[in-house]
Amino acid sequence: MSTTGDPKKSLYEQLARLGKAAASPARLELLDLLCQGPRTVEGLANEAGLSVANASQHLRVLHGARLVEGEKNGLFVTYRLADPAVGDFFQTLRALGEKRLAEVDAILREFREAPESLEAIEKETLLNRVKKGEIILIDVRPAEEYRAGHIPFAMSVPLKELRSHFPKLRRRQPIVAYCRGPYCVLAVEAVKQLRAKGFRAARMDDGIAEWRARGLPVAVSEVSK
């Protein structure tokens, strides 16, 4: 706490803890991953391309700012967002960056204008078409992220296992792939692989965090087969 005796300055000092915790690309990526669901330190390190020691250090900073919580289970520590409001904070920060930083806008525009991107379609319409079997919706994130929360009626097809699913996919049905949101390239790679094999495939830039933010339904279950 501040020793100045000024409550307003003390308040700003406490709020600045959030800014300091978020002032790292690696920590922002870890928050983005945790928006998908709880993960072990080892899992987060692997997905973010960090050493376990480095990931642990960043997670301690986020924990110190009360943005994440950790739970030890045997030899492993699993982290999760401390509150749904943390996910809202990340979404708001990203939206502000998209609005105010030309570099962020350019990156997203490149994604959205890519040939593999899905044409604009109402999310409820997409969900109804998936439910009717008109479209196959695949979640290409790792299976543990799918289990933590996924779009209803989506199939779990982790990118690393995509090729083994080719025989199970119907070529007459369009396929829509999604992953962690507009900054994630898993769905981009999935669409490239599917199109190379003759499937009609497109990428949806929304992920589960964006889906939740719109108040749309989210399913939590075991991996569908």
Catalytic residue annotation: 179
* Spatial separation of the C-alpha atoms in residues 95 and 157, rounded to whole Å: 28
Tokens of 159: 């990118």
* Spatial separation of the C-alpha atoms in residues 89 and 31, rounded to whole Å: 10
Could you please report the per-residue DSSP string of 42-109? HHHHHHHT--HHHHHHHHHHHHHTTSEEEEEETTEEEEEESSHHHHHHHHHHHHHHHHH-HHHHHHHH
* Spatial separation of the C-alpha atoms in residues 40 and 80, rounded to whole Å: 9
* Spatial separation of the C-alpha atoms in residues 106 and 173, rounded to whole Å: 32
- Residue 201: count other Cβ atoms within 10 Å of its Cβ: 23
- Residue 185: count other Cβ atoms within 10 Å of its Cβ: 13
Distances (CA, A) of 149 to 67, 152, 158, 218, 222: 20, 9, 14, 6, 10
